[in-house]
Every structure is written in structure tokens, then in C-alpha cells.
Amino acid sequence: MTRSLPPAIVPCAMTVHAPGATAHARTLDIAEETPVTLSFNGMAHGVMMATPLDLHDFATGFALTEGIIPDLAALKDVAVRAEADHARVDMRIDGPSFHRLLARGRRAMAGRTSCGVCGTDARDVLDRPRRHVPDAPPDLAAVGRALAALAGRQVLNARARMLHAAAWCAPDGTIMQVREDVGRHNALDKLVGAGLRDGLDFGRGFCVITSRCSYEMAHKAIMAGMPGLVAVSAPTARALRVAGQAGLYLVAPARTTSVMVPDLVVGK
């Protein structure tokens, strides 16, 4: 029997209680959260909790932003399948990439939706590959246009009101691609994977995320070669340092009414 992945959004029966009012029934759309097993050349790499949608994009983006593959050409095949109680994505990568992965050691990664570095140690974080991104700061007027348009492109969040989004925008602020997930890292990985598969030029434009700008989000944007990252919440200090070292232009926090551009802090 061929299994199907669960739907990304499911209805849930609720009872609404409010002071001075009679309790009443309501159906609320909520987001699904599914364990996703990721493997490379038959070797289990880890399990991430994710919205069961766009998993091919997710795996592709994860492989690139985690430094497992250097580019899309190194990813030879991706197979997504539904198991009894989880999803599985088996990836086949080229020999050099697999040898580098083996040299890093087996990574027993049990990731939460909110966590992008679970299963690592401090050295894994501090010794991650460092790249320089193109020097192409986003136009702030274009950032405003993208922020104003993003809510209308968040199809899943319009129903569930609980999902993060990551959007790739052209230099003029036109939104080219959007991906959503219960996990902010997952949403960005899905966007990167979708962009790689669609041939988007990540060197021209900027990314908008509907979450805080943590170190991990800055690192993933850098690994994808994005010159600019716009976040609705403030950056962490480490995110500022990582961005400064790579030349990533941060706009955070950003709202439709105003944006802030932090002075990038370079160094330890």
C-alpha cells in the first residue's frame, strides 16, 4: 500500500470560553508537525520536525545550507516517501561530498522545529564553513514593498496563523518565491531548495524571513550566497558577527512602517 504524507493543515475541534459568554464550539485550522528523517547515500543523518510539504525543497536546501553539498550538481537524487508515522527523504550525493560528510563524523541529530543545530557540539558551530556573499545591499524602498506584499503570499499561514515564511525577492522588491513551515530554519531551507531547483539567482535580491534573525538564519543565507537578509525581529549578537564576516547586509527588525539597519559587528 502506498502511503501519503499527512496534510499540512488539519481541522481541530475547539471549545471557546470567554468571560461573560456562553461556551461555544469552533473548528480551528492548525499546522501539522511531522518527523522527517534525512539520509545521505543510505546513512541516516538526523530527524527534523517539519510541516509535511515541499520536502524535496527542504532536503535540497538543508544539504546546501549545512555544507553537505557545495552546489546542486552534487545532489544526484532525492526520494521522498511517507512511512507509517513519519516522512523519509533519501538523498544521493556525489563521492566527494559524501567523503566530506563522513570526515565530519556521524551526526546523531534530533532536531526540533525551532532548532537548527541540534546534535552538534560547540566546534561544529564555530568551525562552520565561511563564505563571502556579493556586495549588493537591498534597496530599503524595495524592502518595504516586499514586506507589504508578503502576508498576501503566506497561503498556509492565512489559515493556521502559526507558520513562519521565507521569501526570495528581486532587487525591486518583487516576491519571486515563498516557502512556509512551522520551523523558521525549515522555511528558509525550503526556500533555498526551491530556488536552487528553479534556477533563481540568489546573488541578486534579498531574503525576507518572518522570524528572529538568529546566527543559524544568517549562516544559511550566507551559505546560499544571499547578499541581504531582512527579518521582522531583531538579530542576535552572533548573527551580527557572522553577517559582518561574510558581508551579509542585515535589515532587522523590519516592519512595513519602519526598518532598522544594524551596524555589523566584525570579530569575536
Report pLDDT for 3.
87
Cell numbers representing residue 95 in the block: 563521492
Is 97 part of a structural domain of the chain? yes
46 lies in the same domain as 104: yes
118 tagged catalytic:
no
Q: Residue 214 maps to which CATH number?
A: 3.40.140.10
The verdict on residue 264 lying in a domain is no
Three-class SS state of 143 = helix
Residue at 195 is within a domain: yes
Give the DSSP H/E element, type plus range, for residue 59: helix 55-65
224: left (phi over 0), alpha (psi -120 to 50) or beta: alpha
Rounded CA separation 1/202 (Å): 40
Annotated catalytic residue, options 115, 169, 207, 213: 115
Q: Which range marks the domain in which residue 164 is found? A: 140-251
If asked whether residues 117 and 155 sit together in one domain, one would say no
Amino acid present at 236: T
Q: Which of 241, 248, 243, 245 is closest to 265 using CA atoms?
A: 241
What is the rounded distance in angstroms from the CA atom of residue 57 to the CA atom of residue 251? Answer: 25
Q: What is the number of other CB atoms lying within 10 angstroms of the CB of residue 34?
A: 20
> Are 117 and 166 part of one and the same domain?
no
Q: What is the DSSP string of 65-124?
A: HTTS-SSGGGEEEEEEEE-SSSEEEEEEE-HHHHHHHHHT----EEE-TT-SSTT--HHH
Per-block average pLDDT, block size 10, for the chain (268 residues)? 89 97 97 97 96 98 97 98 94 98 72 52 58 95 98 97 97 98 98 98 98 95 98 95 95 96 66
